[in-house]
Amino acid sequence: MKVPFLDLKAHHEPHREEFSRIIDEVIDRGAFAGGRFVEEFEAEFARYCHCGEAIGVGSGTDALLLALLGLGVGPGDEVITVPMTFIATVEAISFAGAKPVFVDIDEESYTMDPAQLEAAITPRTKAVVPVHLFGRPADMDPIVEIARAHGLHVIEDAAQAHGAAYKGRRAGSLGDAGCFSFYPGKNLGAFGEGGAVTTNDPELAVRIRMLRDHGQSRKHCHDVVGWNGRMDGIQGAVLRVKLGHLDEGNRKRRERAAQYDRLLGGAPGTVIPPGVNGCEHVYHIYGVRVGRRDEVLSELQRQGIGCAIHYPVPVHLQGAYEDLGHRRGDFPVSERCGDEFLSLPMFPELSPEQAEVVAARLCEATGAGAVCSGPA
């Protein structure tokens, strides 16, 4: 049995008629750039995230950049984040004109280690960007407490955490702003690029709305230097439809994750994701850690199991950031995870039988043999 890493066709097929109807409505109304469909999605997504405001933008990268700019981050500032993330987190800091400063992740959560945060703060630090990696929220209470004590802004990178919760509070509502990506493969994915910023600060929302629309406070009045970061109408309409199915999709992801946990929890040579400890994980990625990761990946691919790697080269070791002067050994937990992370198939339509096959093939590839076994 072959198992894909992601199956967007299976994900979209049950709602094809609904998508066709809403796209036809966008065409009929000619509301292609912003407009009613984006506004309706913004209102519903804000409520979903327990926030007062949601601002639809062109991508998750736009969301991060505009949140930083909206909070006044610019040249001469420093912004603290983690090196174990997709590079967009750090790119946004750079494009805002600030310097990225890294702290390592915690090995128990794969998110920002609050114990290392205070030592990274300098007089130039303006903001902290914790990353809810793979759909698990960072440990936000101590991060926010430290940030507030130093007068720093907190911007959640929630690009992988749609619907995740921390101590009963939704991702996107835990800091000054939350930044989401709606790239098609995300738990809440568009039919192309899209993103959003959530916040409970109405003044920040006004600034971000201006920044995403070329700095306009009203038509032809450009009060600040802005950007073209608008969400288009088709994405807003599609996302509104898909938002109604997000909780059910996340529930199914947690079911498959629990099944993987049962099948792989005792397998030698495989480290399953850490426990959630009061967080509601949404498993955008189900990432295990294995030795000889690249060999294991090749063997799984040979057997038709679609796996991936998130992320093999932490950002501090990327060529784009060599000017920061970091070297291997500076952030050892991120580096170990970069060497060992293996992302298994995970999507709402993944069947129990498929998950059993994935677990069995992984055990064979790592040499764990019959510790976990499934159908052929």
Percent of the chain with pLDDT over 70: 98
- Stretch(es) of the chain classified as CATH 3.90.1150.10: 246-371
**Range name among 191-200, 298-307, 360-369 with the lowest pLDDT average:** 360-369
Helix boundaries (H) for 125-226: 140-149, 202-212
Kindly state the average pLDDT of the residues 116-128: 98
Sign of CA dihedral 12, 18, 21, 27: negative
d(CA 374, CA 349): 18
- Stretch(es) of the chain classified as CATH 3.40.640.10: 8-243
Kindly state the average pLDDT of the residues 271-289: 94
Query: 8-243: what fold?
Result: Aspartate Aminotransferase; domain 2 (3.40.640)
d(CA 160, CA 64): 13
Q: What is the CA radius of gyration of the chain?
A: 21
CATH class of 246-371: alpha beta
| Average per-residue pLDDT for the chain | 96
Tokens read off for 127: 């903001």
In terms of Cα–Cα distance, which of 263, 303, 343 is closest to 2?
303
Q: What is the pTM of this model?
A: 0.96
Kindly state the average pLDDT of the residues 120-124: 98
